[in-house]
Structure 1
């Protein structure tokens, strides 16, 4: 029984790897904390918090599943002296099985005041992806499979993307295409694949239920060719403007819960757990853990925060 389970686990991992190489299904990592890690999703978000904002995230997916995805990201962004302009930097390390992708992107946003209470930002991002896959390290049930005998050595490929982000104090919505170029990757053997262009939509709102309780629904929709549309739906409650408790559902993939705490108006720490039921992975793992830490450094022009920043 143990041998059968190990074979099934290997099959799921290899299937996920091949799916990621060819269909881009796992090439862009998923985030349960997408509402706090927005710059990784949409470059137009840069500068939207009117502070120098640093956000770090770590995700361990499919815990106890050997070779499961592990993701770390770091973003920093800020408006410039000209309040209409903002810059950002996004760094990603994404590992799944024998493959690893590291990305460095610069982000630029131009912000337009539509009214006194609403803004529209247009963003551009440009950078490089470094991809490698040590395919020969896989333990295969069929020895010497030619598709896995040659590694994909470090490939450096450029890419760029764009996005639009509309925001008010209690509502936001955005669309983006993070990677416009569909770069191709291949080993010296038979295994090959290419990136697929993703189309993202994000939205969220906050509704006051009482003086000390607010409801915050958010969503993250991902569209790409040859893959079913996937959407995250998250419902959170903000208690005393400090504690956040929520639940999430990812279509055909996972459900889970989130908790977060604003230690100050500048410092936020969040944790989430989600359990995957897609691709039969739920039988072989103990769920996914994610932690996010965000800090706002106030500039001389913004010495204090006059109202809560919900997004």
Structure 2
């Protein structure tokens, strides 16, 4: 039997981690602080020129574990009727590496005094690469192991709809609309997997408990129809409009029967602690720690995620009230 060291590591991660969402699309725990990463219709929601970045180290201590870095910016145009955004991302897992650039556009309709409905599209390209020189085989001169880097560029499109008011939000989006139809070249097909569509349904609300405390419960359902349906349940407490503290519970759920899945898959995935602080009105710093609840927990030391955000607001313009969603 042929054995490829790093590929085996990736295979173990995919087999042991029960309710994953394909790991083709990068996973974040702090998406509730910037919905642009899961929905293009979120572009310009904050109504300021806003720069943001994430760095995630997943399953620390596990060989070939995912590492993700993103940087982006979004804002509004045409008297806040349109949102524009750009996200650059790099996601590495084992010998596989993906890099993407996506331009986001959102058209906003005022549906109430403090409510808007947005329709969004994102278009761009993604590069998927397998670093053949990182692969090691126990069989000398194994022809099935590439000795060079294999990569494929794919155009892609995402779409979404997003509703928000001062107390409520809800969104539905779909990723990989175009790339899910594209077949990789024959010489790369065995190494660069075809991309699957990913669907995201999210909603949340804000409850003011008193003058200094507010509670924001929310959920996110993630679906790609071939793997387990995944759901995040989140609860965040806002203190004095400056500090967010809370947690997230990630688990698999059964919405409909999937005959291709094992019946005994574990549903519990992870619990995350989240914190976000505004040292100044313009600067946001976020951190989350995920504790793995799958069989992988004995092989890693959890997942860490750091995020930064900055509002580029003119000194002559007063910063808008906090955007809770």
Pair in the same fold by TM > 0.5: yes
Residue 217 of structure 2 is aligned to residue 217 of structure 1: yes
Q: Quick one: distance in 1 between partners of 2:141 and 2:220?
A: 41
Superposed CA RMSD in Å reads: 2.7
Stretches of structure 2 that go unaligned for 5 or more consecutive residues are: 252-267
Cα distance per residue 1:147-199 (max 9 Å; x no partner): 43365622111011111010011221111112202134467378252111111
Query: Residue in 1 aligned with 2:311?
Result: 296
Shift of 1:37: 3.0
Q: Quick one: distance in 2 between partners of 1:309 and 1:189?
A: 44
Q: How many residues align?
A: 301
Cα distance per residue 1:120-147 (max 9 Å; x no partner): 0000110000110024523445666554
Task: Name the CA shift for 1:209/1:152 in 2 (closer, same or farther; >3 Å).
Answer: same
- 2:153 pairs with one of 134, 141, 156: 156
Q: Which moved more, 1:62-71 or 1:198-207?
A: 198-207
Q: Quick one: distance in 1 between partners of 2:218 and 2:225?
A: 24
Task: Name the CA shift for 1:231/1:145 in 2 (closer, same or farther; >3 Å).
Answer: farther
Residue 95 of structure 2 is aligned to residue 98 of structure 1: yes
Task: Name the CA shift for 1:227/1:110 in 2 (closer, same or farther; >3 Å).
Answer: same
Task: Name the CA shift for 1:97/1:9 in 2 (closer, same or farther; >3 Å).
Answer: closer
Q: Quick one: distance in 1 between partners of 2:269 and 2:141?
A: 33
Task: Name the CA shift for 1:310/1:24 in 2 (closer, same or farther; >3 Å).
Answer: closer
Query: TM-score, with normalisation over the residues of structure 1?
Result: 0.88
Q: Quick one: distance in 2 between partners of 1:9 and 1:37?
A: 33
Q: Quick one: distance in 2 between partners of 1:18 and 1:102?
A: 24
Q: Secondary structure at the match of 2:65?
A: coil
Q: Quick one: distance in 1 between partners of 2:85 and 2:225?
A: 29
Q: Quick one: distance in 2 between partners of 1:184 and 1:145?
A: 25
Q: Quick one: distance in 1 between partners of 2:187 and 2:134?
A: 15
Contact 2:6 2:135 in 1 (8 A): no
Query: Residue in 1 aligned with 2:298?
Result: 283
As a proportion of its length, which structure holds more strand?
1
Query: Residue in 1 aligned with 2:51?
Result: 54
Query: Residue in 2 aligned with 1:3?
Result: none
